[in-house]
Amino acid sequence: MANSKYEKLIALATTVCIILLGIALIVCTAHLYFTGGAQPYSRERVGGYLVILAAPLIITAGLAVAGVLMRIMQKKEADGLTARTNSELLESFRSRFDLSSMEGFEAELIRKERNNRRLFDIIAYATSALIFSFVLVYLGFIAEFTIDNLNGDVLSAFALALPLCAIAIGVHIPRIYFAEKSCKRELEAIKRYVKENVVPRAEKYENPKKKPDYALIARYVIIAASIVFIILGITNGGMKDVLAKAVKICTECIGLG
Amino acid sequence: MKNAFVKIRNWWSEHGITKRRLIQLYSALLFNSYLKGYITGDIFKGATKNLCTPGLNCYSCPGAVTSCPLGALQNSFSASGKTAPYYMLGIIMLYGIIFGRWICGWLCPFGLLQDLLHKIKTPKLKKNRFTRVLSFLKYVILVLFVVVIPLLYMTKDFPLPAFCKYICPAGTVGGALGLLINPENEGMFGMLGPLFTWKFALAVSIIVACVFIYRTFCRFICPLGALYGFFNKFSIFGIKLEKDKCVNCGKCISVCKMDIHHVGDMECINCGECIPVCPTKAISYKGAKIILPDSEIEAAKTDEEKAAVEKKREKRVKLASRITALVLSLTLIGSLVYFNFIYDDGVDVPSGDEEEDDGIPTGSAIGYKCPTYSLDLVDGSGQINIKDLRGKIVIINFWGTWCGPCKQELPDFDQVATDYDGEVVVLTVHTVDYAEEAPEYIATNFPDSKMLFAYDESLTDTIDMYFTLLGGTSSYPRTLVLDEKGVIVFTADGKVEHSQLVDVIEETKNK
């Protein structure tokens, strides 16, 4: 954490330099590509742009190194705690008290908040599931995927698929926002109740040792399955395929065509 | 003297490198031990590439001595029409069940890069409700880019590792930049185009984001972390929370920079930073039973017995640490020495047929006479030699059915062979790998082609003869154009466009 004037200055300067350098790199790459004609990249052209960016690169690197050295010279400490969410606070508070026999206005309020949260959860998860299912069906059966226009087909398929996926994830933002507000109201209700009534403490958690340890069983099953799969893979040539690919440069994987 | 030593030791314990950082640096160096690759500009081709790194480490990186599990998984899905992907599924399951996301926190080289970038002194964006929602993006990327697209294109017999091709920054940073900075790879600049522009812009964006947002790639994009996350709860290594000691104070969640809901869940990278902040010592590393069984700890009743058990535990931990450190150090030193000084790919550069006495030296570069060699034709009708094709312009293309860009450009070569029939001969040479697939592929896609199809020969298990003779290193496809006298006038690594071929042919004709 920056606490002296010089540290704050370095932090600010580093921030500005890194952001500007990042933008400059992207702009230069785009400029190289769009003004380069049939073969936009060559060692000479790239070298020319690197010469232009040399000074900002060196300054940014210098600031970054200075900041890291400052950090090393300071005592190791935690980066600071993030604030807890209302749902975490609620769970923590509920775990301390036995609220099973709660009744009255607050109990009714809590029941109402929980039901509303549950409803929002169902709507949000159902909407996400529906959208994701549609995306999979679209990609599997409807979208055009050819080899001649490989990148174009993949891009146009995902021009539809990715925004839909963003919506499917984005529906959870209002759900979480509502859930946080609801948890805050519930927490306030519980605190009011605890303040006005005698509420027993929650019983300490006791490890149910007699129950089978499902995690251990799952572990053994997965280990056994993985060893069987590996042996099957070695016998059916799968391991040889991994080697065959790995000893050749995957030019498309590293952006080289 | 003793005071100075104590002062240094105290300073080191307050400011020095942590054990976790040391292990991260160690694993990054171990999995990229082939430092010679940065000098030669080529990738490692040895048998250790049968194995996979647990974390993200592109196998096209010059230093990599093992395969990337994510790239190999996508390739396995792409080839799943012919070979069931048991091997890679087994590897992922084994790594997952042993380590879970402990790999992300301790072993992944790209994770180390992100941790180091986050150390740069700038204001940081802390986790919040939005980042929690955004952390689901990596599961979407896992399903779409790692599973769905490779399988969809598998049905079209076209290998497409979509995550590696369109998203992965490790390939761009480690692979592309690692190869391009070497002067030996000047020819690779001709392969850069829109894909590189997109990937470089994406890699720069992710790297800049990592400075301000903790482990941007791990939290929001990495499908490998998403996969390992499913195993986190059951893995042998990792973090565990003892519920009977936990008082739900939430300090562990507050101090954690990942988007966890509780310690040890799918988002937890098992870094252990929550362990010292827990007031009731409810959090610990799994696997403690290996050092001292629970029964021995529970048997201690009095304070003296507990102290004795604790002393015994500390002694065992110290001994285990020393043995582990010794073994690991020897492994790293052994790797560095073996891969850089002892390993020999066993390639004697072949010389081809006897040189003709016409004053033009034989070689694989432009201006040299192309070495000649007899290759078996795919249709079984005999052999072909470049010498037999003198008097015509010859295009030699090295390709493979396993190679997406190779398959993409073949129709262009077929078109050229048809358009310039009689003046130009197109000779395609298939790699030794997957040679058995070539006849069916050619019969299906190029039944009446004017192109000639031949097989390369094997120099070693992983290196092809004529490809190496004609200057090929590790990247496919590779194209050479020879004039009527057999002199090389054009070479290219990577996909060649139809217009490029036409330009070269016209220029050669008019020479």
Query: Which of A224-228, B300-304, B400-404, B464-468 shows the highest mean pLDDT?
Result: A224-228
Instruction: Compute the distance between CA of residue B178 and CA of residue B190 in angstroms, rounded to an integer.
Output: 16
- Structural domain including A230 reads 207-257
How distant is the Cα of B358 from the closest Cα of chain A, in angstroms? 34
pLDDT of residue A1: 45
| Tens-place pLDDT, residues B121-140 | 899 998 888 898 899 999 98
Q: Comparing C-alpha atoms, which of B264, B323, B266, B267 is closest to residue B291? A: B323
Q: Would the pLDDT of A32 be above 70?
A: yes
Q: Is residue A233 part of a domain?
A: yes
Same domain, B398 and B452: yes
How distant is the Cα of A1 from the closest Cα of chain B, in angstroms? 8
Same domain, A192 and A220: no
Question: Tokens standing for B211?
Answer: 């400075």
| Between B61 and B191, residue with greater pLDDT | B61
Contact A253 B50 (CB under 8 A): no
Q: Would the pLDDT of A29 be above 70?
A: yes
Q: Would the pLDDT of B348 be above 80?
A: no
Q: Would the pLDDT of B382 be above 80?
A: yes
Continuous H helices in chain A: 5-34, 43-73, 86-96, 105-137, 150-170, 172-196, 214-235, 238-246
Going by pLDDT thresholds of 50, 70 and 90, the confidence category of residue B354 is low
CA distances from B203 to A12, A255, B143, B388 (A): 23, 11, 21, 48
Same domain, B322 and B382: no
Same domain, A43 and A124: no
Contact B89 A140 (CB under 8 A): no
Over residues A102-121, mean pLDDT: 88
**Residues of chain B positioned with their CB less than 8 A from the CB of A148:** 408, 411
Q: Would the pLDDT of B476 be above 80?
A: yes
Going by pLDDT thresholds of 50, 70 and 90, the confidence category of residue B145 is very high
Going by pLDDT thresholds of 50, 70 and 90, the confidence category of residue B346 is low
Same domain, B201 and B67: yes
Q: Is residue B365 part of a domain?
A: no
Contact B49 A246 (CB under 8 A): yes
Contact B85 A238 (CB under 8 A): yes
| Tens-place pLDDT, residues B424-448 | 999 999 999 889 999 999 999 999 9
Instruction: Compute the distance between CA of residue A144 and CA of residue A135 in angstroms, rounded to an integer.
Output: 13
Q: Is residue A11 part of a domain?
A: yes
Report the Cα A107 to chain-centroid distance in Å.
36
Q: Is residue A217 part of a domain?
A: yes
| Single-letter residue type at A233 | G
A206, A227, A249 - which closes a domain: A206
Q: Would the pLDDT of B451 be above 90?
A: yes
Domain count, chain B: 3
Run of H or E including B317: helix B303-337
A206, A221, A244 - which closes a domain: A206
Question: Tokens standing for B272?
Answer: 């252990």
Q: Would the pLDDT of A81 be above 70?
A: no
- Structural domain including B316 reads 296-346
Q: Is residue B264 part of a domain?
A: no
Going by pLDDT thresholds of 50, 70 and 90, the confidence category of residue A2 is very low
| DSSP code string of B385-396 | EGGGGTTSEEEE
Phi, psi of A171 (to 5 degrees): -65, -20
SS3 string of A28-69?
Answer: HHHHHHHCCCCCCCCHHHHHHHHHHHHHHHHHHHHHHHHHHH
Going by pLDDT thresholds of 50, 70 and 90, the confidence category of residue A153 is confident
Q: Comparing C-alpha atoms, which of B500, B394, B494 is closest to residue B187? A: B494
Q: Name beta bridge partners: B240.
A: B284
| Tens-place pLDDT, residues A193-206 | 888 887 777 766 55
**Residues of chain B positioned with their CB less than 8 A from the CB of A6:** none
Going by pLDDT thresholds of 50, 70 and 90, the confidence category of residue B351 is low
- Site from B34, B91, B117, B121 to mutate, A interface, most A CB atoms within 10 angstroms: B121
| Tens-place pLDDT, residues A98-111 | 777 777 888 888 88
Same domain, B168 and B45: yes
Q: What's B476's DSSP letter? A: S
Same domain, B125 and B174: yes
Domain count, chain A: 3
pLDDT of residue B16: 77
